[in-house]
Amino acid sequence: MNKRKKLGQHFLKSKTIAKSIASNAKITENDVVLEIGTGHGILIPYICKNAKKVYSIESDENLYSSAKSNFDYSNLILERGNGFKSNHDFSIFISNLPYSKSRFAIEWLLQKKFSRAIIMVQMEFAEKLQSKEEHKSISVLANYGFRIKFLMNVKKSNFTPVPKVDSTVILLEKKKVVSKELISTVNKIFSYRRKTLQNILKQFNLNTTSKKRLDELSGDEIIKIAQKIVRS
């Protein structure tokens, strides 16, 4: 357990919250669901109830073996491995990821074609996604690719082992697929965030007379600059 806590992996133990997550996913008989991180399988009964098919992928051998023994649904496919390396097509994504994987998951989902995702993240990370005071590259990218809705805060007492912070469940509705190159470019732009726009674009061999800084631009303006860099 200590190793999992160190990795930021905390298992949801509230069936009420698990049921609410599945309900907010609005799963129909036409949906294929991908769950990364089976864990103890608390979500499985609720996401299998209406889905056409459910892929649940777990990297831990013991957790995977336990799930194989405990769950037997005709529409459930349990797999062991790195879910982010899977090639399954899916319409709905659900995950209670380790906190350390939140940003990676957002960038991975931006590149995928699907309808909606419900993920549990650290409350501080959720606040970062909606911050209007200071841009972050991940918030600019997330708001460009998704419509983001904050569904519920979840107290740390609902997990085992108990984390140090509370969590937030967020809904991501897909607006557009974002290329890996655009994601990389936005991240690169933010590595120069203390520079003026004129000096930032010089790093990419482009010219402008603008002396504005990133925090003076809207997210859409930053995306347009990144798109210009990608095209150049």
Instruction: For residue 42, give its domain range.
Output: 2-177
Q: What CATH number is given to the structural domain containing 70?
A: 3.40.50.150
Using CA atoms, how far residue 167 sits from 36, 119, 135, 152, 176, in Å, is 17, 10, 21, 9, 26
Q: Which of 137, 161, 177 is the last residue of a domain?
A: 177
Q: What would the pLDDT profile of 166-187 be if each residue is shown by its tens digit?
A: 999 999 999 999 999 999 999 9
Same domain (yes/no): 185, 128: no
Indicate the SS3 state at residue 119.
Answer: strand
Same domain (yes/no): 66, 25: yes
Mean pLDDT confidence for 140-154: 96
pLDDT at residue 4 in the model = 43
Indicate the SS3 state at residue 198.
Answer: helix
Same domain (yes/no): 63, 102: yes
> Rounded mean pLDDT of the chain?
93
Residue 3 pLDDT > 90 = no
Q: What would the pLDDT profile of 199-210 be if each residue is shown by its tens digit?
A: 999 999 999 999
* pTM greater than the 0.95 cutoff: no
The residue type at 228: K
Mean pLDDT confidence for 159-166: 93
pLDDT at residue 8 in the model = 52
Q: Tokens 């049921």, residue? A: 19
Tokens of 108: 């991975």
DSSP code at position 232 = -
Same domain (yes/no): 93, 188: no
* pLDDT > 70 in the chain, percent: 96
Name the E strands within 65-112.
76-80, 92-96
CA angle, corner 43, sides to 98 and 89, nearest 5? 80
